Chain A
Amino acid sequence: MDPILLIVVCVLAGGVLASLGVHLLPVGGAPAAMATATGVATGTVMLMLGAAMCGLFTAASVATYTSNILLVSLSGAVGSWLMMGVTMLLANLLYVFGVGVVPVSGRVDVDPITRESQKEYKTPQCDGHGVPNVSYISGMMGALLGGFGGALMYFALLEYANFEPTMAGVAAMGIFVANAIIAAYNIGGTIEGFQDPKFKRLPKALLTCGIISLLSGVLVSVVANMGGLIG
């Protein structure tokens, strides 16, 4: 396959996966810092950037040993998976043993996965607390997809566009960040996971991020072409 087409396809797929990943994360924002909303108490950008950076680190280490696209992308997914898992677990420990609240979803009455009742554990006037089971699983899925997307972009830039490892990492991060932020604007800052009604807005973000990633992919392949890095 033509390398330029491969770069554009990989960047497009990476951007769309990043956008999808953001929609699955339990992002609580400022209200979660006071334990009055479900999710981890930080912004979408910080969570997704942290997850993507961890993914890029693992992907970059694995990419020094192999040039198998699936292996590199999956190692990136595992890196961000670990980061999100640890973050959500520690956030939950703080919420449960520090603040003294029960992890509970504010948007659904019954957990769609474990069928546990949520409503009676929720403090009145609050929008849920901590990271409940369904949000945890959703967050793990989000980190998996986001990390996979970021590492896919990194691999495409490294192997098909022949960028230097640092340049590929930073360029992948730049494109990833732009897509994650557009997706964050779509959800208006906070989301619980796939059970949240805001998740239904997903197609709009996928369309926007698709267009932005397509343009970014074209620009990156132009850089590789003009810089004399490919054929």
Chain B
Amino acid sequence: MTVGGGPVVEEEKAEGFTFPPDVTQLGIISAIIAIVIVIIPGLPAVVKAVGVIFALLWGTDSVRKTSKYGLGTGVPSIGVLAMGYGILGALVGIAFAGILNVSIVQPGVLIGVIAMAIVGLISGVLSNNEKIIGMKIPGLERGMMELGMAGTLAMVLQFSIVAGSLNFDLVIEKAVSNGLIAVMFVLSMMAMFHPYNACLGPDERRPRTLMVSIEISGLLCIILGIFVAATAGSTWGVAGLVDGISLLIFGLIVWIVFFVKFIKTAMREAHSTVGTGLIRTIE
């Protein structure tokens, strides 16, 4: 399965929504933003949600870059792989969160990110090596490494949103043992693989694909916001009632803005659109 067989020159339309940074720049920017947010667990949930969006955006971009060459198993597989590594990395991260603390900064979680970067790199090297699996995909090593890191960052940030801290026992109690981790797992991997899976084709355009990722992150924020507000022990403070409601509103705004933007962009860039009559067609 090879996708993207259309015109080689990727024409960027001047009007409409675009992402100025290229793949490398977006990766570096997202990684720095997500890492800065993740090591300070005292931040409000909305700020952490921005980190989640950037981490998932980075993951989506890596999925897009890697699966452009055709994986043979479909695009979803690499998104699921990313979150499989993400769960493992997040558990390692919160296990190490207690050490190396400097007042409110907890850089210990980054050990999980580094561990998953190493595992991802090794799996990428083994998968791409001619003598072993031999997938022959340019940049698979880097792609898998980035996916492991992005998945871990997204997962730790969501733990941090729900539990309000990175304490191992608290995270296990509030985010893992009640089964919320399954919702996080599914929605995060949707945010990573669904955009490229849904948008792939000869006229796939990067900014349009990345919009879908932000939209799904908005949905994730809505669900986490409802959960945080419903289980809040206090009104103010991290993971309190106000934190949950503000996250819910933030998620709603992100979702509506990017959903409308995506539909409008898709309508504008399509050759023609035909309504079925079942739902009102927007012009």
Contacts and interface: CB of A to CB of B under 8 A. Distances in A.
Nearest to A42: B74
Interface stretch (B172-180, B227-235, B239-247, B268-276): B172-180
Interface size classification for chain B = 35 or more
6 contacts: A43-B73, A167-B91, A174-B86, A177-B83, A177-B84, A227-B95
A216 interface: yes
Contacts of B91: 167, 171, 219-220, 223
A25 to B, nearest CB: 12
Contacts of B87: 170-171, 173-174
Contact of A185 (B98, B122, B135, B172): B135
Contacts, number: 134
Residue of A165, A175, A178, A216 with most partner-chain B CB within 10 A: A178
A195 interface: no
Interface residues of A, number: 42
A45 B127 contact: no
Contact of B88 (A45, A174, A189): A174
Contacts of B96: 226
B69 interface: no
B172 A181 contact: no
Contacts of A174: 83-88, 185
Contacts of B74: 29-30, 43, 45, 189
Q: For the complex, would chain B's binding face be called helix, strand, loop or mixed by DSSP majority?
A: helix
Given A167-B91, A177-B81, A219-B119, A186 B168 contact: no
Q: For the complex, would chain A's binding face be called helix, strand, loop or mixed by DSSP majority?
A: helix
Contacts of B78: 181
The list of the 10 closest CB pairs from A to B, nearest first, reads A189-B72, A226-B95, A174-B87, A177-B84, A174-B84, A188-B72, A178-B84, A208-B126, A223-B95, A189-B73
A167 B98 CA distance: 19
A70 interface: no
B132 interface: yes
A218 to B, nearest CB: 9
A93 to B, nearest CB: 25
B130 to A, nearest CB: 11
A182 B132 contact: no
B80 interface: yes
A182 B127 contact: yes
Contact of B115 (A170, A205, A219): A219
A182 B177 contact: no
Contacts of B101: none
A181 B133 contact: no
B83 A166 contact: no
Interface in A195-231: 204-205, 207-208, 211-212, 215-216, 219-220, 222-223, 225-228
Contacts of B178: 166
A37 to B, nearest CB: 13
Contacts of A211: 122, 126
B141 to A, nearest CB: 13
A49 interface: yes
B181 interface: yes
B182 interface: yes
A45 B133 contact: no
Interface in A77-123: none
A212 B133 contact: no
B265 interface: no
A49 B71 CA distance: 18
A170 B182 CA distance: 7
A230 to B, nearest CB: 12
A135 B175 CA distance: 41
Interface in B68-119: 71-74, 76-78, 80-81, 83-88, 91-92, 94-96, 98, 115, 118-119
Given A44-B77, A171-B87, A174-B87, A166 B71 contact: no
B157 to A, nearest CB: 17
A182 B85 CA distance: 12
Given A178-B85, A181-B81, A186-B133, A45 B119 contact: no
Nearest to B78: A181
B119 A212 contact: yes
Nearest to A49: B80
B95 A185 contact: no
